[in-house]
Chains A and B, each alone.
Chain A
């Protein structure tokens, strides 16, 4: 892998973060009714409350950094400085908690759910897709997989509502929502782990079911293309067993574009998982975002959006850096 490749990928990553962060700054500026954040702050200050002094101080600090008397570029520099230091200010709705504290608590839940369900969806989906593209696969597999393929176009959270109704509400097999039993403290005990897993099953299931079909569809297409390659034909002529051809020659090569697909879909998958969290009241970033939206907690919204962009940016960067290890044509190109 050439250094140039790594540098270019890292530059692309930085570009993504920069564009994403700048959008968070500039998009609200386009709003017709001036600065919604200032408005919201003014409203909070007017209502007063227990911490009215601190709120006044916060409003003052905000005005010093982003007041309308400041030129936009100064505001932008102040803003970028804050972002680089991960300083997203206080949560407007859950004052005096800071945005970063709340996000810090939510991130592990989100990443855990997202990583596990994407892993299984990708793995099972690719395997199923491989089988569907393989001529020796029995017809029964095609029939069984049809519902999965159709489900691929359905948004995760709708499936979430359906599985929730069936398994939690009607059958009462699994908890209705949340990340763990209400009131339990996180610990490394078996009871807690089992509790967490039980709560994660339904949200994960709804993402995996829809995901399997999605990956199976694209894998099937890739598989058909790969099977038409000369090296697969020659592998058969060399007397290799069908098993060997399936795994080492067909699946191995068809999975490469799948990985690229995974990087390209990272944003969509993450968006979907945020909504699943909302449906299941799962204590991740999705629920935080949902609460922030309903309570006009702008600092919180911007903080979560920044983290979402960061997560997706990091995920694609990682996938892009792993890819050359899967594909020697890139690894060894023109050294």
Chain B
């Protein structure tokens, strides 16, 4: 595999509460190659949003990044000063947000959002250059340049999301984090926005992390899939392989729950509920709901291990294969 543009190692984020720390993300580890599309999927409380914030070093009190490395193109973000980190945001790692409805300042024209973003990193452009560059950007996401003169409330949800995509790529970032970019959109618009995002990402050859809960969207878009459960990454692998032959019991059950247009009136859920991340019991976080749980699952947490080429899983069922 080519050199990873993003390496995340043992990222731990805790939220301090009176009752003790909430381990929102525990030992999150993965690599991302140039131009690769990673899907980070999980249900509510799985730690995917916390991970996104941690990658941008934007976790706020009472949360804090306890340990770990986030290496972008050889630079460990955790070692940077606040000002250096600010310069990395948007230029090395950019974010395409979840709620595009409210992600733009309602009292600023679209144009000024672009100018602000560019000027925060590069003061060399004059107004004309800024205007030209911004116009190119909005055209690249399929909008007309007159959008630049509008205010956010004059745009539809899909148009706002395109503006956010254009803004996310205006500094040609190496890694784009798209946090449920289409969760507020209808399926038709969702498809169009995702196709735009995919095209742009290919043109830039940037790596992308698509965060979400919609397995359908993941199947349509990503190359590699990471499954999160209770703050841990439990399985990572090529998307086709994961869907065809899920390794972790949670992944297997999750894929079983997905409705399809092939079978009717058969419903398979996962019994039980997600464990509390506060004072979590020892052992694998999934052991209470796992049909295959055995001895060691009740005692110690499992580390994400490569059990087959390119396929990582945190489950002892495959411990033998790793050896």
Question: Which of A239, A252, A333 is most buried by chain B, counting CB atoms within 10 A of its CB?
Answer: A239
Beta-carbon contact of A237 and B116 below 8 Å? no
Beta-carbon contact of A329 and B153 below 8 Å? yes
CB distance from B2 to the nearest CB of A (A): 27
Beta-carbon contact of A237 and B56 below 8 Å? yes
Q: How far is the CA of A326 from the CA of B108 in the complex (A)?
A: 10
Beta-carbon contact of A329 and B106 below 8 Å? yes
Beta-carbon contact of A328 and B107 below 8 Å? yes
Query: With A230-B97, A233-B97, A256-B107 in contact, do A238 and B58 touch (Cβ < 8 Å)?
Result: no
Is there a chain A Cβ closer than 8 Å to B143's Cβ? no
In the bound complex, residues from chain B placing their C-beta under 8 Å from that of A231 are 102-106
In the bound complex, residues from chain A placing their C-beta under 8 Å from that of B151 are 328-329, 332
Is there a chain B Cβ closer than 8 Å to A248's Cβ? yes
Q: What sequence of 0s and 1s flags, for each residue 242-269 of chain A, a beta carbon within 8 Å of any chain B beta carbon? A: 1010001100110010000000000000
Beta-carbon contact of B117 and A229 below 8 Å? no
Beta-carbon contact of B116 and A248 below 8 Å? yes
Q: Which of B83-91, B204-212, B227-235, B241-249 contacts A (4 or more CB under 8 A)?
A: B83-91
Q: What sequence of 0s and 1s flags, for each residue 72-103 of chain B, a beta carbon within 8 Å of any chain A beta carbon? A: 00000000000000111111001101110111
Beta-carbon contact of B105 and A235 below 8 Å? yes
Q: For chain B residues 54-68, which have a beta carbon within 8 Å of chain A?
A: 56, 58, 60-61
Beta-carbon contact of A244 and B56 below 8 Å? no
Q: What sequence of 0s and 1s flags, for each residue 211-242 of chain A, a beta carbon within 8 Å of any chain B beta carbon? A: 00000000000000000011101111111111
Q: How far is the CA of A242 from the CA of B151 in the complex (A)?
A: 23
Q: How far is the CA of A235 from the CA of B106 in the complex (A)?
A: 13
Query: With A248-B108, A328-B107 in contact, do A239 and B102 touch (Cβ < 8 Å)?
Result: no
Q: What sequence of 0s and 1s flags, for each residue 142-165 of chain B, a beta carbon within 8 Å of any chain A beta carbon? A: 000000000101100000000010
Interface of A is mostly: helix
Which residue of A is nearest B154, CB measured? A332
Residue of B99, B101, B116, B153 touching A238 (CB-CB under 8 A): B116
CB distance from A225 to the nearest CB of B (A): 12
Q: How far is the CA of A249 from the CA of B108 in the complex (A)?
A: 9
Beta-carbon contact of B94 and A237 below 8 Å? yes
Is there a chain A Cβ closer than 8 Å to B280's Cβ? no
Residue of B61, B102, B120, B153 touching A244 (CB-CB under 8 A): B120
Query: With A233-B58, A332-B151, A332-B154 in contact, do A240 and B120 touch (Cβ < 8 Å)?
Result: yes
Q: How far is the CA of A326 from the CA of B151 in the complex (A)?
A: 13
Which residue of B is nearest A242, CB measured? B86
Is there a chain B Cβ closer than 8 Å to A82's Cβ? no
CB distance from B60 to the nearest CB of A (A): 8
Query: With A230-B103, A231-B102 in contact, do A239 and B97 touch (Cβ < 8 Å)?
Result: no
Query: With A230-B97, A332-B151 in contact, do A241 and B86 touch (Cβ < 8 Å)?
Result: yes
Beta-carbon contact of A239 and B105 below 8 Å? no
Q: How far is the CA of A135 from the CA of B60 in the complex (A)?
A: 10
Which residue of A is nearest B106, CB measured? A329
Q: How far is the CA of A135 from the CA of B58 in the complex (A)?
A: 14
Which residue of B is nearest A229, CB measured? B102
In the bound complex, residues from chain B placing their C-beta under 8 Å from that of A256 are 107
Is there a chain A Cβ closer than 8 Å to B277's Cβ? no
In the bound complex, residues from chain B placing their C-beta under 8 Å from that of A329 are 106-107, 151, 153
Is there a chain A Cβ closer than 8 Å to B137's Cβ? no
CB distance from B109 to the nearest CB of A (A): 8
Residue of A230, A241, A252, A333 touching B102 (CB-CB under 8 A): A230
Residue of A230, A235, A236, A327 touching B107 (CB-CB under 8 A): A327
In the bound complex, residues from chain B placing their C-beta under 8 Å from that of A229 are 102
Q: How far is the CA of A98 from the CA of B164 in the complex (A)?
A: 65
Q: For chain B residues 242-299, which have a beta carbon within 8 Å of chain A?
A: none
In the bound complex, residues from chain A placing their C-beta under 8 Å from that of B103 are 230-231, 234
Is there a chain A Cβ closer than 8 Å to B191's Cβ? no
CB distance from A140 to the nearest CB of B (A): 19
CB distance from A179 to the nearest CB of B (A): 41
Q: What sequence of 0s and 1s flags, for each residue 299-311 of chain B, a beta carbon within 8 Å of any chain A beta carbon? A: 0000000000000
In the bound complex, residues from chain A placing their C-beta under 8 Å from that of B88 are 239
In the bound complex, residues from chain A placing their C-beta under 8 Å from that of B90 are 237-239
CB distance from A236 to the nearest CB of B (A): 6
Question: Which of B91, B103, B104, B117 is most buried by chain A, counting CB atoms within 10 A of its CB?
Answer: B103
Is there a chain A Cβ closer than 8 Å to B121's Cβ? yes
In the bound complex, residues from chain A placing their C-beta under 8 Å from that of B154 are 332
Is there a chain A Cβ closer than 8 Å to B25's Cβ? no
CB distance from B185 to the nearest CB of A (A): 15
Q: How far is the CA of A248 from the CA of B90 in the complex (A)?
A: 18
CB distance from B120 to the nearest CB of A (A): 5
Beta-carbon contact of B106 and A253 below 8 Å? yes
Beta-carbon contact of A234 and B95 below 8 Å? yes
Q: For chain A residues 87-132, which have a beta carbon within 8 Å of chain B?
A: none
CB distance from B43 to the nearest CB of A (A): 22
Beta-carbon contact of B95 and A237 below 8 Å? yes
A-B contact pairs, 30 of them (CB 8 A): A135-B60, A230-B97, A230-B98, A230-B102, A231-B103, A231-B105, A234-B97, A234-B103, A235-B105, A235-B116, A236-B58, A236-B89, A237-B56, A237-B58, A237-B89, A237-B90, A237-B94, A238-B89, A238-B90, A238-B94, A238-B116, A238-B167, A239-B91, A240-B117, A248-B108, A253-B105, A256-B107, A326-B107, A329-B107, A332-B154
Query: What 7 pairs across the A-B complex have the smallest Cβ distances?
Result: A239-B90, A239-B89, A237-B95, A230-B102, A238-B90, A328-B151, A234-B103
* Chain A interface residues toward B at CB < 8 A: 135, 229-231, 233-242, 244, 248-249, 252-253, 256, 326-329, 332-333
* Chain B interface residues toward A at CB < 8 A: 56, 58, 60-61, 86-91, 94-95, 97-99, 101-108, 116-117, 120-121, 151, 153-154, 164, 167, 171
